[in-house]
Each structure stands twice: as structure tokens, then as C-alpha cells.
Amino acid sequence: MASIASRFTSCWSRIFSPAPRRPHLQCPLVPLQQARGAAIGGGAHSLNAQKYKRKDTATAAKKKNKARNTFINYDLKRAEQFSLCDAMRYIRAFEVGYPPSSPKYELHVKLRTLKNGPILRNRLRLPHPVKTDVRICVICPPDSPTAVAALKAGAAMAGDEEIFAAIKEGKIEFDRCICHVDSLQALNKAGVARILGPRGLMPSAKTGTVVKDVAIMVRDLVGGSEYKERLGVVRMSVGQLAFTPDQLQRNIRAFMEQLRKDMGLLSDRVSKEVHEVVLSSTHGPGFSLNGEFKSPSGVPPKDLSVA
């Protein structure tokens, strides 16, 4: 009996006694917040930590590299520059095959200026006007002395009611529109502002296209040229391919003098300086000018006087 009782006790103890823990299966209890922190922020070797670290580095680099408030101007010491006669010689080589009166010399003046500063804009009558096919319309009473003077000065058309009717029909056969002071009320009542306005053809006193002496304005537009600064560069046609070097030089000189006057009229807080002057043509590349008229080993100006 004693042996049976001892066997029963040992079986009972084996059934209800806790099983011993194996060393390799034991895991200490870690607080939940600590475990989450290890999973999310996990030290320097965590992928997420490295990703966020790269983002922080890129953000810091962007903060250091501030945006430029001026246009980029390259060093002219590394650029090849030409005299006026040499540039004309190369440009004419690129324009071979075109009529001498078709291609035009274009001057590009690059400025040292702020990106958000005021821009230069004006109209200039050159000593040797560049012939253009600009069609000018004059709003004034037909058969009046004003209309006769405008047509003699080079206007393509002059009138009021007939021109208003053609505009409403969509027949806009002019590139510029000028209005006489006495005809401004008739122009406003005609209701053509919604047609001419989006095209930039509506006359207004602000743009200087509502004048008393129409003939003088027409002559300025026919023989004059407009220029406007865009992205720190002022561009304007300064001659035709058949111009002689002396004619082109006088036009460039007049344009540069007027440009410097415009820069001098700006406030003292705004600084604009000429950085580079480039001469190009309608179909040719640009040549940076060094300010000289002729180089010592260049072509004589007489050879460039004949197109």
C-alpha cells in the first residue's frame, strides 16, 4: 500500500508542478513604450532613422543655398569677343543667300540687375531708321486735316466708323493703333476695346497712343524702334544687313546712350549696369562685342560697305 501511495504522490506532483523554463526560451518583460521606441527610432542602424537623417541633411543644405536675387552673369575674360567690323563680317557669312534688306542686326544688352526690380522700356528713333513693315491705324475723322497728315506721315489707314465696323467683323489689318484726342470718346463708345485690348492695340493715354499731333507720332513709330527689358536683357533691331559699319556704329551708339539715360532716371536704390553687348542677326548667332570699331588685323570697313 505504501508503494502505491508513493507512486500516486509522485505522479500528482509531476502533473501539477510548473514545468522548468528552458534558458533559450526565456525573454525578459520589456515595457510597451520602450519596445515601441526601439521599433520606431531604433538607433543609428535603423532604416527609418537613416531616411529621416538624409531628409534633415537635404533640408539643411537647401537652407544654406539661398535663392539668387540677381541674374547669372558669366566672366567675360573667358569669352571670345570681337570688334564691330569682325562681327559684321561673320554675321554676313551666316546670312548668305538672303536679300540684304530682309535680315536685321539685333543688339542684345545684358545687364547686372535685380530679378524683381523695375524694367527698362522706351521708344527710340535711330539716326538710320530700320525699315519695318509696321502698319499703323489712326482713329480720327476721315477727310480731315489730321487724317491727311497721318497718311502722308506713313499711316496705313485713317478714319473712325469704317475702321470700327471692320474691327467688329474681325478684320484687323494693322499692327499699331493711334487715336486723336478729339476721337477718344467715339472710340470708347464704339465698343471695340474688348477686341483690341487683348491684342495690345487699344489706344490709351497711359501708353502714349492718344495724342494731339498724330503726324509726329506716326513718324516716330515708322522710323522708331521699341525696346523692353526681359530677364535682364534689352533687345532691339539696330540696322539692316545692307548697313555700312559707320551707320551701324551710329545706331548702336545712339541706342547705348539712350539706355544709359534710362538707367540714370531710376532711383538711387536701384542699380543697373551694362555687363555684355552682343550683336546678332535674324538667322545668325551672337557675337560678343569688345567695344572696338575695328581690330588691327581685321577687314577694312570699306570692304563691308558693299552688301
Name the residue type at position 96: V
Q: Report the distance separating Cα 140 and Cα 161, nearest Å.
A: 9
Long-range contacts formed by 222-225: CB under 8 A, 24+ apart: 222/129, 222/132, 222/134, 222/136, 222/153, 222/154, 223/125, 223/126, 223/129, 224/123, 224/124, 224/125, 224/126, 224/129, 225/123, 225/124, 225/125, 225/126, 225/129, 225/130
Q: Report the distance separating Cα 186 and Cα 139, nearest Å.
A: 9
Name the residue type at position 112: R
Using DSSP, state whether 129 is helix, strand or coil: coil
Q: Give the chain's domains with CATH numbers.
A: 84-130+226-305 (3.30.190.20), 136-221 (3.40.50.790)
Average pLDDT, the chain: 79
Q: Model pTM greater than 0.85?
A: no
Summarised one tens digit per residue, pLDDT across range 234-268 is 998 888 888 889 999 999 999 999 999 888 888 77
Q: Report the distance separating Cα 279 and Cα 190, nearest Å.
A: 44
Q: What percent of the chain has pLDDT over 90?
A: 13
282 phi, psi to nearest 5 deg = -65, -40
Q: Report the distance separating Cα 305 and Cα 299, nearest Å.
A: 11
Summarised one tens digit per residue, pLDDT across range 63-94 is 556 677 777 878 788 888 899 999 999 998 88
Contact 138, 209 (CB under 8 A): no
What pLDDT does residue 250 have? 93
pLDDT by residue for the chain (307 residues), tens only, comes to: 555 555 555 554 555 555 555 555 454 554 555 555 555 445 445 666 665 556 556 565 555 566 777 778 787 888 888 999 999 999 988 888 887 767 889 999 999 888 887 888 887 888 887 866 678 899 998 888 989 998 888 888 898 899 999 999 888 888 889 999 988 888 888 888 899 988 888 888 888 889 888 888 888 777 777 788 888 899 988 888 888 899 999 999 999 999 998 888 887 777 888 888 999 988 888 999 998 888 888 878 877 776 5
Beta bridge partners of 137: 157, 177
